[in-house]
Structure 1
Amino acid sequence: MALSSTSVYALVVCAAVLWGAGPVLVKRALNAGARPRQAVLVALAADTAVVWTAFALVRGVAIPGVLLDADPRVLALFALTGALGTGIGRLIGLVGLDRLGASVYSATLSVRPVFATALGVVALSESVTPMHAVGVCVLVAGLVVLERARTHGGGERGGWRRRDLAYPIVAAAAYAASRTLRRTGLHVGGVDVLAAAATNELAGLCVLAVVLGVRYGRDAFAPPRESAAPLVGSGICFAVGMIAVFGALAAPAGRVVVVDPLVATVPLFTVGFAAYLLETERITARVAVGTLGIVAGAALVVW
Structure 2
Amino acid sequence: MALSTPSVYVLVVLAAALWGASPVLLKRALNRGARPRQAVLVALAVDTALVSTAHVIVHGSDALRALLTADLRVLSLFVLTGALGTGLGRLIGLIGLERLGASVYSAALSVRPVFATVLGVTVLGEPVTPVRVAGVGILVVGLLVIERARSHGGGERGGWHRRDLVLPFVAAATYAASRTLRRAGLHVGDVDVFAAVATNELAGLFVLAAVLGGSSGTDVFTPPRESVASLVGSGCCIAIGMVAVFGALAAPAGRVVVVDPLVATVPLFTVGFAAHFLDTERITGRIVLGTLVVVAGAALVVR
Offset of residue 286 of structure 1: 1.1
Residue 212 of structure 2 corresponds to which residue in structure 1? 212
1:80 is aligned to 80
For the 8 Å contact 2:183–2:249, the answer to whether it is kept is no
| Sequence identity (%) | 75
| CA distance in 2 between partners of 1:198 and 1:92 (Å) | 22
| 1:65-95 CA distance string (max 9 Å, x none) | 2222222222222111101100010000000
Question: Secondary structure in 2 aligned to 1:111?
Answer: helix
* Counterparts of 1:59 and 1:113, CA distance in 2: 33
Could you say what the CA RMSD is over the residues aligned between the two structures, in angstroms?
1.5
Structure 2 letter corresponding to 1:97:
L
Residue 62 of structure 1 is matched in structure 2 by 62
Between the aligned partners of 1:246 and 1:78, the Cα distance in structure 2 is 12
Q: CA deviation at 1:255?
A: 4.2
What code does the residue aligned with 1:73 have?
Answer: R
Q: Which runs of 5+ in 1 are unaligned?
A: none
Partner of 2:32: 32
Q: Structure 2 CA distance, aligned partners of 1:70 and 1:250?
A: 16
1:234 maps to 234
Cα displacement (A) at 1:250? 4.1
Amino acid of the residue matched to residue 41 of structure 2? Answer: L
2:214 counterpart letter in structure 1: V
Is 231-240 or 124-133 further displaced after alignment? 124-133
Alpha-carbon distance in structure 1 between the residues aligned to 2:252 and 2:191: 20
Cα deviation for residue 56 of structure 1 reads: 0.9
Q: Deviations over 1:91-119 (max 9, x none)?
A: 00000000000000000001000001101
**2:174 is aligned with 1:174:** yes
Deviation, structure 1 residue 13: 1.8
Instruction: Supply the AA of the counterpart residue of 2:45.
Output: A
SS at match of 2:128: coil
Aligned residue number for residue 124 of structure 1:
124
Kindly indicate whether the alpha-carbon contact (under 8 Å) linking 2:106 and 2:267 is maintained by their aligned counterparts in 1.
yes
Q: Could you say if the C-alpha distance between residues 44 and 295 of structure 1 is closer, same or farther in structure 2, counting changes exceeding 3 Å? A: same
Output the TM-score relative to the length of structure 2. Answer: 0.96
Task: Tell me the residue number matched to 1:142.
Answer: 142
Runs (4+) of structure 1 moved beyond 6 Å? none
> 2:70 & 2:7 partners in 1: Cα distance?
31
Are 1:257 and 2:251 an aligned pair? Answer: no
Give the TM-score normalised by structure 1: 0.96
Question: Residue 206 of structure 1: SS of its match in structure 2?
Answer: helix
State the alpha-carbon separation in 1 of the partners of residues 285 and 243 from structure 2.
34
Which whole-Å CA distance do the structure 1 matches of 2:188 and 2:166 have between them? 33
Q: What SS does the aligned partner of 1:289 have? A: helix
Which segment drifts farther, 252-261 or 134-143? 252-261
User: Per-residue deviation at 1:24?
Assistant: 0.2
- Secondary structure (helix, strand or coil) at the match of 1:271 reads helix
Shift of 1:5: 4.2
- Unpaired runs of 5+ residues, structure 2, are none
